[in-house]
């Protein structure tokens, strides 16, 4: 077992800063806009002119000498942004986002480099509560290679996380809880064990609490990384429905018979709840059906449909228990690859 100093020296060269930039309109000045009894300062934009502007950042870490990088999906969620990886003040690389996994909040990037420092991946299935861990990252986007030590406080945690950067809400499960300090800007950095191997990706911290951070188990990312290296993308099973996950309160408000499951319903007026030519349409699913179980596994808020489907392959046949007009049906559906 290595000391914290030894581990810090080993892993820090592979921990990187991700800078997020977008082309935004140039500001040529400001003016006051009176409203009621107050004046509001409003930017005056140059018509037709834009400039590259930094809009955010996060952490990540290199996992191969040829430049594969792991980070959190919410750090690089904007497909219209440009991403630059900073290894140190003298080395910066444009980064290509190869894959985004919003279910597990994981993203895989690639930079064009050779003989890069990288961190070895550990086995998150072997973690035990109470073991020592180290979180590395760039909190607030300013304090590079910050090291914080702690222990594994708990396993298999479920949280609802909100990203102020991407304005996204995600339901994350199976998380590692740690008291090692995780702050804004740490997202995407590694959680390392005392062998210097990554066991998690720092993901979130609890507001209004101290020493309460969460990381995504690295074994979730291993599968994604293998798929990207083999196929150049993530191969995800596709069902083809828009839905709302039910709970007791939603069921009560809408006078529904059950407080769990996935209600097939369109998200907005003018769109379809069942995607045309999808496995769901071919199997005969209809809007307002309530999907209850997949292969006997119950659909709930803590175990939503998307999480269950990711366990299957892109050509697997599944059985879905469905409630339609008060009657239960069992439908067999063959999943397809998401385009």
Beta bridge partners of 106: 101
Label residues 74-95 b or e (16+ Cβ within 10 Å = b): bbbbbeebebbbbbeeeeebeb
Known catalytic residues are 74, 105, 187
Q: How far, in Å, CA of 227 to CA of 157, rounded?
A: 26
DSSP letter assigned to residue 299: P
Inter-CA distances, 50 with 47, 129, 140, 188, 211, Å: 8, 51, 26, 29, 42
Q: Under a CB-based contact definition with an 8 Å cutoff, are residues 78 and 167 in contact? A: no
Question: Residue 322's Cα: distance from chain center in Å?
Answer: 29
Q: Under a CB-based contact definition with an 8 Å cutoff, are residues 27 and 45 in contact? A: yes
Q: How far, in Å, CA of 87 to CA of 77, rounded?
A: 21
Q: How far, in Å, CA of 120 to CA of 318, rounded?
A: 36
């Amino acid at each position: 077992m290595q000391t914290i100093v030894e581990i810090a020296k080993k892993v820090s060269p592979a921990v990187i800063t991700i800078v997020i930039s977008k082309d935004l309109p140039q500001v040529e000045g400001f003016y006051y806009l009176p409203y009621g009894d107050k004046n509001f300062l409003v930017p005056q934009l140059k018509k037709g002119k834009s400039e590259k502007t930094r809009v955010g950042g996060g952490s990540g870490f290199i996992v191969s000498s040829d430049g594969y990088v792991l980070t959190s999906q919410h750090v690089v969620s904007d497909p219209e942004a440009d991403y630059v990886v900073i290894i140190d003040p003298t080395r910066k690389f444009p980064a290509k986002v190869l894959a985004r996994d919003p279910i597990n909040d994981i993203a895989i990037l690639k930079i064009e480099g050779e003989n890069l420092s990288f961190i070895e991946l550990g086995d998150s299935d072997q973690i035990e509560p109470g073991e020592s861990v180290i979180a590395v990252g760039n909190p607030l986007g300013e304090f590079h290679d910050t090291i914080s030590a702690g222990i594994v406080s708990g396993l298999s945690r479920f949280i609802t996380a909100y990203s102020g950067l991407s304005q996204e809400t995600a339901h994350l499960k199976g998380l590692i809880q740690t008291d090692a300090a995780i702050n804004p800007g740490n997202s995407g950095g590694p959680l390392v064990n005392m062998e210097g191997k990554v066991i998690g990706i720092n993901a979130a911290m609890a507001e209004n609490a101290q020493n309460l951070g969460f990381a995504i188990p690295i074994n979730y990312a291993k599968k994604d990384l293998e798929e990207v290296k083999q196929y150049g993308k993530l191969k995800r099973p596709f069902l083809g429905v828009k839905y709302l996950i039910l709970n007791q309160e939603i069921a009560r408000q809408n006078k529904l018979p059950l407080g769990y499951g996935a209600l097939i319903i369109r998200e907005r007026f003018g769109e379809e709840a069942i995607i045309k030519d999808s496995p769901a349409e071919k199997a005969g699913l209809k809007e307002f059906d309530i999907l209850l179980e997949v292969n006997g596994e119950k659909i709930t808020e803590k175990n939503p449909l998307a999480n269950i489907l990711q366990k299957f392959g892109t050509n697997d046949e599944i059985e879905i228990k469905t409630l339609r007009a008060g009657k239960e049906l069992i439908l067999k559906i063959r999943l397809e690859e998401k385009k």
